[in-house]
């Protein structure tokens, strides 16, 4: 998924807000420049700010990296899988 790679490499993202993004990713608090059907003047303004304001872009990519690490890292995956295996085997997982 391109979204996770963008977060991992700490790059800002301008993207169409598809249904998967709206349902699964956006609620976690990622900060992106998202647009619906068409790119608006506001979309362009936000994208230009990312290109022109390095401090703003750094703040956003650092924020997104931390969220990606919390929800999609190997450590997070290990926790999710341990819980699933424990539920499947009927055991408490600590």
The rounded average pLDDT for each run of 10 residues, N- to C-terminus, in the chain (94 residues) is: 87 92 91 94 97 98 95 88 89 60
Q: State if pTM tops 0.85.
A: no
* The pLDDT of residue 79: 87
Q: What is the pLDDT of residue 92?
A: 60
43 phi/psi in degrees, rounded to 5:
-60, -45
Helix runs in 9-73, H state only:
19-20, 41-52, 54-72
Q: Which residue has the tokens 């699933």?
A: 84
């Amino acid at each position: 998924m391109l979204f996770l790679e963008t977060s991992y490499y700490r790059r800002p993202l301008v993207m169409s807000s598809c249904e998967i993004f709206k349902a699964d990713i956006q609620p976690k608090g990622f900060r992106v420049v998202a647009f619906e059907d068409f790119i608006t003047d506001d979309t362009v303004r936000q994208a230009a700010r990312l290109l022109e304001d390095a401090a703003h872009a750094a703040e956003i990519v650092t924020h997104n990296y931390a969220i990606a690490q919390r929800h999609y890292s190997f450590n997070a995956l290990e926790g999710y899988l341990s819980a699933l295996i424990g539920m499947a085997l009927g055991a408490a997982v600590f």
